[in-house]
A and B are shown apart, each in its own frame.
Chain A
Amino acid sequence: MSELLKMTMAEARDGLRAKAFSSAELTAAASSAVAEARPLNAFITETPEQAAEMAAASDAKLARGEGGALEGIPLGIKDLFCTKGVQTTAGSRILQGFKPVYESTITAKLWAAGGVMLGKLNLDEFAMGSSNETSYYGPAINPWRRGNDDTKLVPGGSSGGSSAAVAADLCFGATATDTGGSIRQPAAVTGTVGIKPTYGRCSRWGVVAFASSLDQAGPITRTVKDAAIMLREMCGYDPKDSTSVDMAVPDFEASCGGSVKGLRIGVPKEYRIEGVPEEVDHLWDQGIAWLKEAGAEIVEVSLPHTKYALPAYYIVAPAEASSNLSRYDGVKYGLRVDSDDLTTMYEQTRAAGFGREVQRRILIGTYVLSAGYYDAYYIKAQKVRTLIANDFTAAFEKCDVLLTPASPSPAFGIGEKSNDPISMYLNDVYTVTANLVGLPGIAVPAGLSKTGLPLGLQLIGRAFDEETLFRTGAVLERAANFTGKPGKWWA
């Protein structure tokens, strides 16, 4: 049965349409793989019964020769997307037991396209983290190990449940969200593909907000083509989101076979960062060579304000988060620690409901927005965003797409970095700039580290030019021929 799960999403789709197997079979295999993989802690909530019902409905449609682009395909949903009647926790204690009476726009679109929900995937609490260690429901575990060393490794974050589940063949694709790198970085450290589309492509309606001007949803899948198939179903204008863009969604899958001949690949010199392991830069050079061989033109470009991206991010993101998380106050839903006094109720509820990292970011955000500091921090950071945007505008005059590493290291062990917030924050060093300026970025698996762990490369494109990312990503994917799989140690 589990052989079925080794297919790509595209193969599963084609097999379902050819009636080589049913969605019920595929879904049953996936649900049992999910149950078997509980040691990975990739799911917070499993929904096998709902999955079986959805699969049956899909089979009925497929039998009539109907069905959407994802008809009958089992998917995992990051537990940041509100799902009607199904617990949605955002990885936090404060939302434990919360069952939305509504469905997020993106998941609604996926179900309309025929997707089957296996359950809700683990994540860093409110998507704040780069390792999935801040989840109230325990860390998700990377299916990959350092050879025979059984140290538990992080699957990246915040979409760690998504990356772990896709890497472990529990589902064909998973939704994820990316505020500073939370799709691309976990994809990179699990040997999967993750794309964060341009800000505004995917509706944020019904996705628990972390930082509104940075949050953007996207898929994590096993191949570039699968990412193209799934992203197409996630994108589209939503009048319920004022930052959603009213623009046609291209057939991304069609881009995946294109050539990069003559395409100008920008290599930003500022992305060679001191202290990053040599193997990361080495893989980058390899990627450059692959694209050159495929006929692309390599151009060195400069993004001079790169080093300021993370500090600017750690002002803007906590500021927005501190306000977005004010609604968790024990009044309307979620946890309440009772008291006769309203303020005590608020303070105790939020202290008990939020974990340490979330509290830290709320405090930073509150501090940088408070009277006397607002201009020095928040406005300053927003100005730096403008400078970074200008950097990209200039760079894209010389090139069509940028190639960079996706993560500064392979997966690390649980607990190895959790005592130093700044070293943890540095995991997003390559990815965070794209969030600050809303540009699309894709992480593609490109090789293994010395310890046998996946490493990825990132492509950053012009706004709304995801097609070039898919085209170039597919070329990289073919050249890298990444076929590695983690051993199935958990079963």
Chain B
Amino acid sequence: MSEAKRAKTIEGMTGPWEIVIGLEVHAQVQSEAKLFSGASTTFGAEPNANVSLVDAGMPGMLPVINDFCVEQAVRTGLGLNAQINKVSVFDRKNYFYPDLPQGYQISQFKQPIVGEGEVIVDLPGGESVTVRIERLHLEQDAGKSLHDQDPNHTYVDLNRSGVALMEIVSKPDMRSSDEAAAYLKKLRNLLRYLGTCDGNMDEGSMRADVNVSICKPGAYEKFRETGSFSHLGTRCEIKNVNSMKFVAQAIEYEARRQIDVVEGGGTVNQETRLFDNKAGVTRAMRSKEEAHDYRYFPDPDLLPLELEDDFIARIKASIPELPDAKKARFVSEYGLSVYDAGLLVAERETAAYFEEAAKGRDAKAVANWIAGDLFASLNRDNKSIDESPVSAAALGEMVGLISDNTISGRIAKDVFVIMYATGEAPAKIVEEKGLRQVTDTGAIGAAVDEVIDANPAKVAELLKKPKLLGWFVGEVMKKTQGKANPQAVNDLLRAKLGDRIGE
């Protein structure tokens, strides 16, 4: 798919415009303790309860790095097919803010732990694009400032202060809000497969700074050829957007705003903006108006971080099958369509559910049941697949009952509803409710005869309208309370009506 085709154009007064988007995703590292202290990372604790003396920036306190956070960053880097830097350096980023107790954030500026990589992003239409990753670095989160507790004061809670974050910086490779949302979705999925971030956007475990600029058609291609940002418009950074929906909304709003500014004869200022999700608008942040100068320099309390080959190798060996590989395997091993496979691997838990249910069963049928009735029921009840009342084993068993002709597909729909409501095993439901399929041709034949005899006019019509046979099938099924084997009904009807059915 060519770049030009990908770019979504927006019509302005002066002609079409294109959007260029880059994302800086802050993903909280899944770890017990903080990046440089032994305090807990648990969400929702009492104010300042998960705070050590180090996190509070007490005089004389020193950082000691959490080995597992390093491991998680490397694991993520490997999952992004990225360069792992065997030597990286922690720098101090200096600025004043009440939720930054040390007066600096420990981050990685010049030498990050992970270099260039890429993410294959699946678009809703079934196509996929590659988004290049510029870098991943480790850094400390800041505390939380509460502005609405008191009219004149801000309250500061440092529980998040020092929690490990991975900042994953993409290149400006996304060309529409849909692509940006799809990238975020894929990245989240990838991190969850890796077990390096829980991806919980409601709790702030994952949030994005969105860089948006606009350009005229053709300019982006020049940028890609030359690498020179001069071909692109001035970008604005929208800070801390915490849902995929808001990312898309913020981009749409911001692009339109920039077009209006430029077409109105103005210039876009390089600035930091906030997305107001209630009003659906972005606005400049007052606190960031001042030209900042972070005065980065290597943190003298730490030494360069050196990674041993066997450390990296051990992590590499522990990486699970990732969504792209799993998707390919689902297609080749289970014969699923690319679309269905994509649907099933979009959450690690769904893929696991599928594989368990499909063990020894008709995998395509299992996939259809998951994508159809199961997803519909779960969505209706706002449940995750982990909370499904129908276990993977039970769903597999039900598909087995269809395959061995114990029940018909139609009866299975009813069985599924009961399974979902009661959590009971399908075989038990079938037995208790007497839903076993009738395969006895004698009993079915009697019902077929009754239907033919009672409907001579319809039989006459059959010659002109062969599709009417379906109506006869339905009538026979009614007579048998749906338990007749539909194939047997079909066969018997065809045998008995013979050449009275039109071509």
- Using a CB–CB distance below 8 Å, which chain A residues touch chain B? 81-82, 88, 90, 95, 98, 100-102, 104, 204-209, 211-213, 239-243, 319-320, 322-323, 325-327, 329, 331-333, 340, 342, 346, 366, 369-371, 374, 378
Main secondary structure of the interface of B (DSSP, over half): loop
With both chains docked as a complex, state the minimum distance between the C-beta of B312 and any C-beta of chain A, in angstroms: 21
- A-B Cβ contacts below 8 A, count: 99
Among B63, B98, B302, which residue has the most Cβ atoms of chain A within 10 A?
A: B98
Known contacts A102-B58, A208-B59, A209-B59, A329 near B64 by CB under 8 Å: no
Give CA–CA (A332, B102) in the complex, Å: 10
Give CA–CA (A101, B51) in the complex, Å: 13
Chain B contacts for A370, CB-based, 8 A = 293, 295
B58 touching A333 by the CB < 8 A rule? Answer: yes
In chain B, positions 274-303 with a C-beta closer than 8 Å to chain A are 293, 295-297, 299-303
B65 touching A242 by the CB < 8 A rule? Answer: yes
A327 touching B63 by the CB < 8 A rule? Answer: no
- Using a CB–CB distance below 8 Å, which chain B residues touch chain A? 53, 56-65, 92, 94, 96, 98, 101-104, 152, 154, 156, 293, 295-297, 299-303
List 18 other contacts, CB 8 Å, given A242-B301, A378-B297. Answer: A98-B59, A100-B58, A100-B60, A104-B60, A207-B60, A209-B59, A209-B301, A212-B299, A212-B300, A239-B64, A242-B302, A323-B92, A323-B103, A323-B104, A323-B295, A331-B98, A342-B98, A371-B293
Partner of A205, one of B57, B60, B94: B60
Chain A contacts for B297, CB-based, 8 A = 319, 323, 369, 374, 378
Give CA–CA (A374, B301) in the complex, Å: 19
Give CA–CA (A98, B60) in the complex, Å: 13
Partner of A206, one of B60, B64, B296: B60
Give CA–CA (A342, B96) in the complex, Å: 10
Residue on B nearest A80 in the bound complex, by CB: B60
Chain B contacts for A240, CB-based, 8 A = 62, 64
Chain B contacts for A213, CB-based, 8 A = 300
Residue on B nearest A382 in the bound complex, by CB: B298
With both chains docked as a complex, state the minimum distance between the C-beta of A29 and any C-beta of chain B, in angstroms: 31
B300 touching A320 by the CB < 8 A rule? Answer: yes
Known contacts A326-B103, A374-B295, A208 near B152 by CB under 8 Å: no
Chain B contacts for A326, CB-based, 8 A = 94, 96, 102-104
Give CA–CA (A373, B152) in the complex, Å: 39
Give CA–CA (A243, B64) in the complex, Å: 9
With both chains docked as a complex, state the minimum distance between the C-beta of A349 and any C-beta of chain B, in angstroms: 11
With both chains docked as a complex, state the minimum distance between the C-beta of A136 and any C-beta of chain B, in angstroms: 15
Give CA–CA (A158, B421) in the complex, Å: 77
Chain A contacts for B63, CB-based, 8 A = 242
A332 touching B295 by the CB < 8 A rule? Answer: no
Partner of B57, one of A100, A332, A369, A374: A332
Among B59, B60, B94, B103, which residue has the most Cβ atoms of chain A within 10 A?
A: B59
A-B contact pairs, 8 of them (CB 8 A): A98-B59, A100-B59, A205-B62, A212-B299, A322-B295, A327-B101, A366-B295, A369-B296
Partner of A331, one of B92, B156, B296, B302: B156
B102 touching A327 by the CB < 8 A rule? Answer: yes
Among A95, A100, A332, which residue has the most Cβ atoms of chain B within 10 A?
A: A332
Chain B contacts for A206, CB-based, 8 A = 60-61
Give CA–CA (A88, B61) in the complex, Å: 14
Give CA–CA (A374, B92) in the complex, Å: 13
Chain A contacts for B152, CB-based, 8 A = 340
With both chains docked as a complex, state the minimum distance between the C-beta of A82 and any C-beta of chain B, in angstroms: 5
Chain A contacts for B61, CB-based, 8 A = 205-206
A102 touching B53 by the CB < 8 A rule? Answer: yes
Residue on B nearest A207 in the bound complex, by CB: B60
A242 touching B64 by the CB < 8 A rule? Answer: yes
Chain A contacts for B96, CB-based, 8 A = 326, 329, 346
Chain B contacts for A209, CB-based, 8 A = 59-60, 301
A369 touching B60 by the CB < 8 A rule? Answer: no
Among B57, B58, B101, B299, which residue has the most Cβ atoms of chain A within 10 A?
A: B58
With both chains docked as a complex, state the minimum distance between the C-beta of B298 and any C-beta of chain A, in angstroms: 9
B295 touching A211 by the CB < 8 A rule? Answer: no
Give CA–CA (A242, B59) in the complex, Å: 16
B101 touching A208 by the CB < 8 A rule? Answer: no
Give CA–CA (A11, B331) in the complex, Å: 84
Give CA–CA (A12, B98) in the complex, Å: 49
Chain B contacts for A211, CB-based, 8 A = 300
With both chains docked as a complex, state the minimum distance between the C-beta of B38 and any C-beta of chain A, in angstroms: 10
A204 touching B102 by the CB < 8 A rule? Answer: no
With both chains docked as a complex, state the minimum distance between the C-beta of B316 and any C-beta of chain A, in angstroms: 26
Residue on A nearest B94 in the bound complex, by CB: A323
Among B57, B300, B301, which residue has the most Cβ atoms of chain A within 10 A?
A: B300
Give CA–CA (A370, B295) in the complex, Å: 5
With both chains docked as a complex, state the minimum distance between the C-beta of B330 and any C-beta of chain A, in angstroms: 46
Among A104, A327, A369, A371, which residue has the most Cβ atoms of chain B within 10 A?
A: A327
Give CA–CA (A25, B62) in the complex, Å: 38
Chain B contacts for A98, CB-based, 8 A = 59
Residue on B nearest A82 in the bound complex, by CB: B60
Give CA–CA (A322, B65) in the complex, Å: 23
Chain B contacts for A100, CB-based, 8 A = 58-60
Chain A contacts for B101, CB-based, 8 A = 327, 331-332
Partner of B59, one of A90, A241, A331, A342: A90
Chain A contacts for B102, CB-based, 8 A = 326-327
With both chains docked as a complex, state the minimum distance between the C-beta of B479 and any C-beta of chain A, in angstroms: 81
Chain B contacts for A102, CB-based, 8 A = 53, 58
A204 touching B62 by the CB < 8 A rule? Answer: yes
Known contacts A240-B62, A242-B63, A242-B64, A327 near B302 by CB under 8 Å: no
Give CA–CA (A102, B58) in the complex, Å: 10
With both chains docked as a complex, state the minimum distance between the C-beta of A369 and any C-beta of chain B, in angstroms: 4
- List the 9 shortest-distance A-B pairs measured between CB atoms, nearest first: A326-B103, A212-B300, A369-B295, A213-B300, A327-B57, A206-B60, A208-B59, A327-B103, A371-B293
Chain B contacts for A95, CB-based, 8 A = 59
Give CA–CA (A95, B58) in the complex, Å: 11
B64 touching A204 by the CB < 8 A rule? Answer: no
Give CA–CA (A464, B57) in the complex, Å: 31
A242 touching B104 by the CB < 8 A rule? Answer: no
Partner of A241, one of B62, B92, B103: B62
Residue on B nearest A331 in the bound complex, by CB: B98
Give CA–CA (A82, B54) in the complex, Å: 14
B60 touching A204 by the CB < 8 A rule? Answer: yes
Chain A contacts for B64, CB-based, 8 A = 239-242
Give CA–CA (A217, B104) in the complex, Å: 25
With both chains docked as a complex, state the minimum distance between the C-beta of B156 and any C-beta of chain A, in angstroms: 7
Give CA–CA (A88, B103) in the complex, Å: 20
Give CA–CA (A331, B94) in the complex, Å: 16
Give CA–CA (A204, B58) in the complex, Å: 13
Among B92, B96, B303, which residue has the most Cβ atoms of chain A within 10 A?
A: B96
Known contacts A240-B64, A323-B295, A374-B295, A88 near B59 by CB under 8 Å: yes
With both chains docked as a complex, state the minimum distance between the C-beta of A490 and any C-beta of chain B, in angstroms: 31
Chain B contacts for A329, CB-based, 8 A = 96, 98, 103
B60 touching A208 by the CB < 8 A rule? Answer: yes
Chain B contacts for A366, CB-based, 8 A = 295
Give CA–CA (A69, B299) in the complex, Å: 36
Give CA–CA (A320, B300) in the complex, Å: 8
Residue on B nearest A343 in the bound complex, by CB: B96
A243 touching B60 by the CB < 8 A rule? Answer: no
Chain B contacts for A242, CB-based, 8 A = 62-65, 301-303
Chain A contacts for B58, CB-based, 8 A = 82, 100, 102, 332-333
Residue on A nearest B36 in the bound complex, by CB: A242
Give CA–CA (A374, B110) in the complex, Å: 13
Give CA–CA (A320, B297) in the complex, Å: 9
Give CA–CA (A212, B65) in the complex, Å: 17
Chain A contacts for B59, CB-based, 8 A = 82, 88, 90, 95, 98, 100, 208-209, 327, 333
